[in-house]
Structure 1
Amino acid sequence: MSRLALILLSLIISIGLQAQELNANVKVNTQKLQTVDPKVFETLEQTIQEFLNNQKWTSDVFELEERINCNFILTIQEELSPTSFKADLAVQSSRPVYMSEYETPLFNYIDKEVTFYYEQYQPIQYSRNQYNDNLSAVLAYYAFIIIGKDYDSFSPMGGEPYFQLAQDILNSVPQSAASSNPGWRSVEGNRNRYWLVENIMSPRVRPMRQAMYAYHRDGLDVMFQDVETGRAVITQALSEIGSVNQSYPNSMIVQLFNNEKSAELVEIYKLGSLEQQNEVIRLMSRLDPANASKYRAIK
């Protein structure tokens, strides 16, 4: 084979091995359907998966093994019409811990305010800075939240451009669409899409985002070679998150952290020193009082 042919072959192989950012597993649950043909939602499931996994969300190059593992579970709760639906959307993402088979949870949230219109074989399209429909806006919004959380865990404030894109989606939703599709407005409670990105982008939360970088890169990722150092860094990160909780009490982002990390923290500190265990129990009992008994069971 000629040298030129070898070069061309290697280029083709390298391009083929490159991937988009998300490795999304999508499930559409339809147990509550009354009249709509379930096959419509089999098509929807495939369409959502292709939309999330085939869309180029960033300008970075991802290898197949670098894709962000995530789950989108859409549970249809109500048929508003033959082509309009109300649903819950569970969104989860994780990232691998260095030199480990363990994946640490980064995002875990159930959005109970997803309404959308869908006809079988209807494509889902995303256009930056342009609102097409509620389903594409919601999916793209969470795609950028997932990517932002992942980047924040690998570099300090690394997710900022992607959180900004999520905020741009929120700002692009017309008032008429926001009125008929809940979740985008501040007046609809303090636990929705508006408040999620508001919390993340708030200057009051920046120390927490920096602490989350330390938690993952300087904490979890070093534990394969130095468990004590990793655990100490995580303890300091928890202290900094506690300070954010004091300056921004009852924030959505801190509650999400508790949901995402409580089980992991119990495992991390089970083998810690008594001093470390007492400190994490003190910190987490303030951060997550609803689960105080879970943390007290560490020792």
Structure 2
Amino acid sequence: MRKLILSGILLCSLFAMQAQELEVIVRTNTQKLQQADPQIFETLVNSIAEFMNNQKWTNDVFEPEERIKANILITIQEELSQVAFKADIAVQASRPVYNSNYDTPLLNYIDKGVVFSYEPFQPIQFSQNRFNDNLSSCLAFYAYIILGLDYDSFAAYGGEPYFQAAQEIVNMVPDGAAAASPGWRAIDGDPSRFFLIENLLSPRVRPFRQAWYEYHRQGLDVAANDVATCRAIIAASMEQFRDVDQAYPNSMIIQTFSDTKADEIMEIFKKGTPQEKNKVVQTMTRLDASNTTKFRSLK
């Protein structure tokens, strides 16, 4: 009987491991730390990793090889007290490309000036229906953003429920908490969490999400079998990104797209035709003029 019970526990544990969606590696940069005990951040890393990786974010079952890879780097910029901090949180995520050993980036973004409190060994808890604290809300927000971008890359608008969940997190932050930790309100400016999710749910950005699907599922995922078709589809999808930039000038999502995908796009079109290279350079220069020199090196 004991063996049966242990076997049942092992199977349940194995299923739980398979069921999770995210595989997040967490790191901290505490070079500016002066007062707080550095051990706080050792437990913080473990707490965030457990929160992100063990939380059930969807109703779907993910096999271990299907989990979405992500990295979180928390750089402490200021100590507000021994347990309160202001930090930059860098979030990166990627998903595998079909029939290859390549992971394509989904998100590369730095959320600057995030204010949060944390005490040693404090568990991070999140409730879908109420605000607990700024750290758990920020982490859950980015979990849903990552899921939305991943699901959108496999099916047109497939990430809608996860973007809606991210929007609900924004809506639940009380005024006092939002004022104490900028990023949740329109008045906090762009870029911010507010405008990231506003962009993703805006009707003006719907063509971006369609192009995002075509770029990944119809473009990258066929690259192993047909590189020329991959480049052609990605080049066509980039025209839709350009159209979104025209419809929604200076939108955060376009800048985030360039920050995330520029290097990949340059690599994809290194062996493209002269016509493809010219079109890509024109589009990327339009989307991100600050990197014009970099894009022109593709020619």
C-alpha distance in structure 2 between counterparts of 1:204 and 1:64, whole Å? 36
SS in 2 for 1:91: strand
Query: 1:170 corresponds to which residue?
Result: 170
Residue 113 of structure 2 corresponds to: 113
Distance 2:13 2:22 in 1: 20
Query: Partner residue of 1:208?
Result: 208
Aligned-partner Cα distance in 2 for 1:147–1:106: 10
Task: Quote the offset at 1:81 in angstroms.
Answer: 1.0
Task: Identify the residue that residue 226 of structure 2 maps to in structure 1.
Answer: 226
Match of 1:37 in 2: 37
C-alpha displacement at 1:12, in angstroms? 5.5
Name the CA distance, whole Å, in 2 between partners of 1:17 and 1:121: 23
Residue matched to 1:255? 255
Give the match's secondary structure for 2:254. helix
Matches within 5 A, 1:71-82: 71-82=71-82
Partner of 1:101, secondary structure, is coil
- 1:236: Cα distance to partner? 0.6
Q: Report Cα offsets for 1:42-97 as digits up to 9, x if no partner.
A: 11111111110000011111111111000011111111011111101000001111
The one-letter code of the counterpart of 2:84 is: S
**Per-residue CA distance 1:21-54 (angstroms, 9 max, x = gap):** 1100001221111111101111111111111000
Other-structure match for 2:122: 122
- Stretches of structure 2 that go unaligned for 5 or more consecutive residues are none
- Between the aligned partners of 1:251 and 1:8, the Cα distance in structure 2 is 51
Is 2:18 aligned against 1:22? no
Residue in 2 that maps onto 1:188: 188
Equivalences for 1:236-251 in 2 at 5 Å?
236-251=236-251
Shift of the alpha carbon at 1:17?
A: 5.5
- The code of the aligned residue for 2:280 comes to V
Match runs of 1:27-66 below 5 Å: 27-66=27-66
Letter in 2 for 1:202: S
SS at match of 2:264: helix
Distance in structure 1 (CA, Å) of the matches to 2:94 and 2:172: 28
Could you tell me which residue of structure 1 aligns to residue 102 of structure 2? Answer: 102
**RMSD (Å) for aligned C-alpha atoms:** 1.9
1:187 partner letter:
I
* Alignment correspondent of 1:148: 148
Q: How many residues align?
A: 295
Q: The residue matched to 2:112 in structure 1 has which SS?
A: strand
Q: State the 1:279 CA deviation.
A: 1.3
Change (3 A) 1:79 1:278: same
1:104 is displaced (CA, Å) by: 0.8
Q: Which amino acid aligns with 2:45?
A: E
Deviation at 1:260, TM superposition (A): 0.8
- TM value normalised by structure 2: 0.95
CA distance in 2 between counterparts of 1:137 and 1:80 reads 19
Verify the 8 A CA contact 2:19 2:60 in the aligned structure 1.
no
Gaps of 5+ in 1: none
Alpha-carbon distance between aligned partners in 2 of 1:98 and 1:187, rounded to the nearest angstrom: 41
Pairwise CA distance, 1:19 = 3.4
SS of 1:184's equivalent?
coil
CA positional deviation for 1:123: 1.0
Q: Deviations over 1:77-135 (max 9, x none)?
A: 11101111110100000111111111111101000121011111111000002100011
Rounded to whole Å, the distance in 2 between the matches of 1:135 and 1:276 is 44
Whether the 8 Å CA contact 2:269–2:277 is kept in 1: the answer is yes
Q: Deviations over 1:119-167 (max 9, x none)?
A: 1111100000210001101111011101111111111001110011010
Q: Deviations over 1:195-251 (max 9, x none)?
A: 000000000001000100000000011011111111110011000110000000000
C-alpha displacement of 1:15: 2.3
Query: 1:16 offset after TM fit, Å?
Result: 5.9
Q: TM-score, normalised by structure 1?
A: 0.95
Percent identical residues: 57
Distance 1:91 1:143 in 2: 10
Q: Distance between the aligned counterparts of 1:148 and 1:112, measured in 2?
A: 22
CA 1:14–1:298 in 2, change beyond 3 Å: closer, same or farther?
Answer: same
